[in-house]
Amino acid sequence: MRRRKMTREFRSERIAPDLITEILDAARRVPTAGNSQGLEFLVLDEPDAVERYWSTTFSESGRASFRWQGLFDAPVLISVYGDPDAYTDRYSEPDKTHAGLSSADGWTTPYWLVDASMAALAVQLGAIDAGLGVLLFGQFDHAGSVAKEFGVPEHMVTTGTIALGWPAESATRADPGSAETTAQPGLSSSRPRRNLESMVHKNRWPVA
Ligand SMILES: Cc1cc2nc3c(=O)[nH]c(=O)nc-3n(C[C@H](O)[C@H](O)[C@H](O)COP(=O)(O)O)c2cc1C
């Protein structure tokens, strides 16, 4: 976790398919609610598919003026999806009906997103462990067009897309502000990390 930083500039060098398989095979082992395992990975590892992703989510001018041009060199994009139906089906089984979660409206916390988020983190940590760089980024209002372009069933919910690649020399991999930072950090990454004390509420949550 201490080595984990988002990388936004990649080399275009390919990633061995076996390494991607290994990372995904580990990521599918995350815990899932009721062992529903409603996790799906859309893996784009062919240059044509990666290119179609970018042309689906960027206008030509938006792409030309985009701050992180090195992001477009990432050779692999993985979008992680949660399948709400897998959860409502699982929670309709006899041992789970007591929870009253057989319809998606009943879920105060959508566990398909909780589980898909854990899988997305597992993909990132596995990749970082192998020396790769990663960037998780949102699909925002492009979620529908990405789904349409790649045949993702409409009811799937995404936690976002992870770009994977070997980090470029210039990639920002150290803490913003540290002497090791070689590229200009983005506004988000320059926000200081909150300290632990401000986040931990021991025994009660005091009024701020
Ligand atoms: C749900 C989520 C969405 C994100 N979306 C973007 C994004 O669209 N573009 C981007 O450059 N970074 C995105 N990030 C990365 C965050 O900006 C980054 O994690 C944060 O600034 C902290 O930096 P660090 O991860 O390098 O420690 C996203 C991160 C998360 C968890």
List the chain domain ranges.
Answer: 17-174
Regarding the beta carbon of 6 and ligand 1, being less than 6 Å apart is answered yes
Ligand 1 closest atom vs CA 8: 11
pLDDT given for residue 188 in this prediction: 84
Which DSSP letter does residue 167 get? B
Per-residue pLDDT at 16: 98
CB 135 within 8 A of CB 74: yes
Closest residue CA from atom 19 of ligand 1: 6
Please check whether residue 86 is in contact with residue 9, taking contact to mean a CB–CB distance below 8 angstroms: no
* Cβ-contact 36, 86 below 8 angstroms: yes
Query: What 3-state class would DSSP assign to 71?
Result: helix
Residue nearest to ligand 1 atom 22, measured at CA: 189
Residue with CA nearest ligand 1 atom 14: 137
What ranges make up the beta strands (E) of 16-72? Answer: 39-44
Residue 185: the pLDDT is 58
- Residue 187: per-residue pLDDT: 81
Burial of 130 per CB tally in 10 Å (0-12, 13-18, 19+)? middle
- Residue 186: what pLDDT? 66
Distance CA 34, CA 99 (A): 11
- Nearest atom within ligand 1 for CA of residue 189: 21
User: Which pLDDT belongs to residue 140?
Assistant: 94
| pLDDT at residue 190 in the model | 85
Check if 188 has its Cβ closer than 6 Å to any atom of ligand 1: yes
**Please, what are the averages of pLDDT over each run of 10 residues along the chain (208 residues)?**
94 97 98 98 98 98 96 98 98 96 94 98 98 97 98 98 95 44 63 95 89
For residues 70 and 10, what is the distance between their CA atoms, to the nearest angstrom?
Answer: 5
pTM: 0.92
- Cβ of 178 below 6 Å from ligand 1: no
Q: What is the CATH number of domain 17-174?
A: 3.40.109.10
Bridge-based pairing of strands 133-137 and 157-165 is antiparallel
Query: Which atom in ligand 1 lies closest to the alpha carbon of residue 68?
Result: 11
Ligand 1 centroid, distance to 79 Cα (angstroms): 15
State the Cα–Cα distance between residues 171 and 135, nearest whole angstrom. 11
**Gap from CA of 172 to ligand 1 centroid (Å):** 13
> Which residue is associated with the tokens 């998780």?
136
Long-range contacts of 23-27 (CB under 8 A, 24+ apart): 23/123, 23/126, 23/127, 23/130, 24/78, 24/123, 26/122, 26/126, 27/119, 27/122, 27/123, 27/126
pLDDT for res 179: 36
- Contact call for residues 126 and 23 (beta carbons, < 8 A): yes
